[in-house]
Amino acid sequence: MSAHANANLVRFNFFEQAGAFLRDAKSGAYRVDLVRMQQAVASLAEKILRLQGDGDYSAVAAFVKQTGVMGPALKADLERLARAQGIPVDVVFEQGKPF
């Protein structure tokens, strides 16, 4: 798994555990709790900065091992999205005057 994918899973799982979003099991839809999301972002930033500042490699490895995994619900949701048609997956920003 790429470092980028692993970082995405760490964030997803950390935010899920913090209650920053909820998933409706019946529909598979996600709903963000803005207040909890703000708190979770601040908490994750603090954790990452502390781990980096302490230089605690073993704590980082344990954190990534614990939170850098894809659970079955997320896997099923991603597979469902991959089968869907017409869902944009990339955003292209166009700004400034064309040359």
pLDDT value of position 99: 67
Phi/psi of residue 23, nearest 5 degrees = -115, 125
CB 6 within 8 A of CB 60: no
Q: Alpha-carbon distance 99 to 95, whole Å? A: 11
Whether the per-residue pLDDT at 91 is higher than 80: the answer is no
Percent of the chain with pLDDT over 90: 70
Q: Alpha-carbon distance 35 to 56, whole Å? A: 30
List, for residues 30-60, the tens digit of each pLDDT value.
999 999 999 999 999 999 999 999 999 999 9
Whether the per-residue pLDDT at 85 is higher than 90: the answer is no
